[in-house]
Amino acid sequence: MPVAVVETIAGIIEDRLEAMIGDATYTTDISEVRRPTRFASFTPIHNQIVLVQAATERVPILDRPGNPPAIAYRQPFAIHCHIIQSERDTDSIDTLLNAFHADVVKAICSPASTWHNMGGNAIDSEFGTVNYVQADGGVDGVQIPLLVTYRVSEDDPTELRN
């Protein structure tokens, strides 16, 4: 069954993040990568990554004529990096957050020369402004927005039109 192009892109991002698990070249020892269900029933744990999809935006300037026309979308993904630091740990939380951020960017930007096209499924990708999550919800962390622009047929979001 054909898969929506945006779902293929989400799977590629998830795969790149999951490749961090057990990889000693990264400073952060990633525990797991999650894509939440509607009712997020998993528990937050230390060094967890949660990949969330936000509302899709249209990018009319990148549309292409045709029958059917090719329609461009920009899909924001939020990569939540959770840190639940022990009360007995003396490391600076900012040090952990900076390392986590750097590791995730390196993982997403692999392979270096073609990371932005997400396996040929996207026109371009870029990172947005990073938000630092305060521990008022009990979890510290950094949220890394990743904006992926792709193009599909107007009448079939499973048909890639790059």
Partner 1 sequence: MTLHDTIQADALSVFCNSDDFAESIVYYRRNGRSRKIKAVVIRESLGVMPEDGDVVYPLFEVHVANSDTDGIASDELDLGGDQLEFPTRVGQPKMRRSILKLLNHDEGMLVLECR
Q: Which residues make up the interface to partner 1 (CB under 8 A)? A: 36, 38-41, 43-46, 50, 52, 54, 78, 80, 84-89, 131, 133, 137-139, 143
Give yes or no for a contact between 133 and 80, defined as CB atoms under 8 angstroms apart: yes
Burial of 119 (C-beta count, 10 Å sphere; 0-12/13-18/19+): middle
Least Å distance, CB 132 to partner 1, is 11
CB of 30 to partner 1, least distance (A): 16
Question: 42 or 155: whose CB is closer to partner 1?
Answer: 42
Smaller CB distance to partner 1: residue 72 or 96?
A: 96
What is the closest distance, in whole angstroms, from the C-beta atom of residue 94 to partner 1 in the complex?
16
Distances (CA, A) of 4 to 23, 92, 102, 135, 153: 30, 42, 30, 36, 11
Beta bridge partners of 73: 58, 150
Q: Between residues 84 and 105, which has the closer beta carbon with respect to partner 1?
A: 84
Q: Which amino acid is at 7?
A: E
Q: Which is nearer to partner 1, 82 or 151 (CB)?
A: 82
